[in-house]
Amino acid sequence: MMTDFLNDPRFRDLKPFESRVWLSSPTMHGEEQHWVDEAILTNWVSTVGKNIDVVEKECAEKVGRRFAVGLSAGTAALHLAIRLAGERLYGPAPANQGVLRGHKVFCSDCTFDATVNPVAYENGEAVFIDTELDSWNMSPEALEKAFSLYPEVRLIVLAHLYGTPAKCDELRAIADRHGALIVEDAAESFGSTYKGTQTGCFGDYAIISFNGNKIITGSSGGMFLTDSEEDAHKIRKWSTQSREDAPWYQHEELGYNYRMSNVIAGVIRGQLPYLETHIAQKREIYERYREGLKDLPVVMNPIPAETNPNYWLSCLTVNPEALCAQVRDERRALYITEPGKSCPTEILGALAAFKAEGRPIWKPMHLQPVYRNHVFITAQGVARGRSNAYIAEAAAADNGAELFRYGLCLPSDNKMTEAQQRVIIDIIHRCFE
């Protein structure tokens, strides 16, 4: 059944927000305008300029890596990072052939598809590694299992979900034991630390994103991070169509148009001084949800010991005993509301009806039609292309599917007021009435 929330007796006395409360929208401070204007007034309106230089330097310093290269998107940064890793492992690919040439790559399963698509761009075969519930990131046990099944694998693509660091030490130790490289997708976790070290420092290559909904944004943009000057040069060259040092356009390798714009870099430059402010705001939002929802049969996304997340998105999962009937096909969802119970579909529907934006947890990659025939490995073993129906029964062995089934991302916008958040917390309570 689909509820008409505005006329449902549980909600009838509530009014929608006057202006929408977003999941996570850009939060501008004014300096962005200054640096964008300066770029335009000085005519540095291309992929060269002071804003790019400053932003690269500041990002490298913040994260604690020697070099940063500004790119057009986090996805572009991931693509070049994966290409670089592939070249180091398997040698340069002839033009028009992916550098991974059919090799398997172990990838985070519960993430945005931008994490893993570049593996396919380079003709690699993504093998999805299940999630652990302690951090909602790649499970070290499942990764170990994966190496026992495919000891020849040499590359891992690892994401930090919603700003919470993965178990970096454990994962790094496993990678080292098997001689594998790590590409670290810190797109969502800029400013988060694990045992005092910033995410973006754990991968052989790492990236962050400045997409419009990230904690620091340029409207778009991404950053490649490395400690090797040679790698930084290579990425800069590839991102500008691989032009050789010659009097004409000389190309000896495949290139891309992936460089960051100096105008975009102006937005990022104005944002960077506010990273810690944004983290503090996001943390308060998380704490208020945790406090406000503690009497409900739900739990917030975990904050593992020894991590300081950036709290990019606050999430919850409904406890299994409090989940009402909910089914999803590939495109739609239905549920049956029940007193004392609710489900992500109902909560997201109620929030939307009152003009607040939530989102389901990332649907795991192994459940995505585009990747459905790929191998998926849990701590218990291997599974291939499963249907949703099977997942429902086997949920205990598939943490990613479980998070997708029980979880959702809550409105986590920096600009959400305390009063608005109180109403959102109230709406969630009413879902369980």
Ligand X SMILES: *Cc1c(COP(=O)(O)O)cnc(C)c1O
What track of x and - describes contact with ligand X for positions 150 through 179 (by CB under 6 A)? ---------x--------------------
Residues 48-77 interacting with ligand X (rule: CB under 6 A): 73-75
Binding piece for ligand X, criterion CB under 6 A, among 4-12, 185-193, 315-323, 421-429 = 185-193
- Indicate the pairing of strand 67-71 with strand 222-226: antiparallel
Tokens at residue 55, please? Answer: 């932003």
> Residue with CB nearest ligand X?
74
Q: Which is nearer to ligand X, 90 or 224 (CB)?
A: 224
- 155 phi and psi angles, rounded to 5 deg: -140, 135
Asked whether the beta carbons of 268 and 214 are under 8 A apart, the reply is no
Binding piece for ligand X, criterion CB under 6 A, among 110-118, 142-150, 225-233, 250-258 = 110-118
The reply on whether position 187 binds ligand X by CB under 6 A is yes
Count how many Cα atoms sit within 13 Å of the Cα of residue 172 in the half-sphere of its side chain.
14
Q: Which is nearer to ligand X, 307 or 326 (CB)?
A: 307
Binder among 32, 132, 185, 204 for ligand X (CB under 6 A): 185
DSSP string over 349-398: HHHHHTTB--EEPPPPGGGSGGGTTSEEEETTEEEES--HHHHHHHGGG-
Asked whether the beta carbons of 432 and 341 are under 8 A apart, the reply is yes
Q: Which is nearer to ligand X, 187 or 298 (CB)?
A: 187
Binder among 114, 142, 155, 401 for ligand X (CB under 6 A): 114
Binder among 86, 124, 218, 222 for ligand X (CB under 6 A): 222
Distance CA 388, CA 370 (A): 15
Instruction: Give least dist CB 208 to ligand X, A.
Output: 9
CA distances from 243 to 21, 83, 256, 337 (A): 45, 17, 10, 60
Q: Which is nearer to ligand X, 36 or 365 (CB)?
A: 365
Binder among 5, 112, 335, 376 for ligand X (CB under 6 A): 112
Q: With CB under 6 A as the rule, give the number of residues binding ligand X.
A: 14
- CB neighbours of 331 closer than 8 A, spacing ≥ 6? none
Nearest-CA neighbor of 166 among 137, 186, 187?
Answer: 137
Report the interface residues with ligand X, using CB under 6 A. Answer: 73-75, 111-112, 114-115, 159, 185, 187-188, 209, 211, 222
